[in-house]
Amino acid sequence: MEARAIQRTVRQSARKMRLVIDQIRGQAVPQAYAILRFSKKLAAKQIHKVLKSAVANAEQRALRENTALDVDQLRVKYAVVNEGPTLKRFTPAAMGRATPIKKRTSHVEIHVEGDAESRAPKATPAKAGAKAEVVAKGKRPKAAKKKKAAARKTKKKAGK
């Protein structure tokens, strides 16, 4: 289940909002809510509104399609802040001149999707008699290490 929400022309610069949006990208929705709630940045309030809207859109889509949806299983799949139109204003300066003021705006877009890990079936070995290689996090089987080392040596020889 995927849903999105977009808020256009937020009256804050995209550069400031990206500092907050980078923290929630890829996070689970409840964790993203917590990050936004305790952030001191003003941008967190606007981003919280957009995230809340994206979650509500996912719930409505699930109702329309008559499927079950657990909001706690949603993740922030895509979160981006783009520049919006700049409001150009002028203020008086010395000797009758005017200096420009750029009031920047931004567009916030957030996509949420259901957690695929809980729905995906567990992988089984291709052959019944084949031994399934269990690869621990950060470790490779010895055969894979040897193949990679051999490939590196042949690249070095070809490069010389």
Q: What confidence score (pLDDT) does residue 1 get?
A: 85
- For residue 134 the two structure tokens come to 């269990």
- DSSP annotation of 42 reads T
**pLDDT over 90 at 160, yes or no:** no
**pLDDT over 50 at 8, yes or no:** yes
Q: What confidence score (pLDDT) does residue 123 get?
A: 52
pLDDT tens by residue, 33-55? 999 999 999 999 999 999 999 99
- DSSP annotation of 1 reads -
Q: What confidence score (pLDDT) does residue 56 get?
A: 96
Distance in angstroms (rounded) separating the CA atoms of residues 158 and 123: 38
Contacts with 21 (C-beta within 8 Å, 6 or more apart), sequence order: 43, 47, 79, 80, 81, 108
Length of the chain: 160
pTM of the model: 0.70
pLDDT tens by residue, 14-35? 999 999 999 999 999 999 999 9
Q: What is each CA distance from 31 to 24, 59, 78, 108, 159, in whole angstroms?
A: 8, 18, 15, 19, 48
pLDDT tens by residue, 66-119? 999 999 999 999 999 999 999 999 999 999 999 999 999 999 999 999 865 444
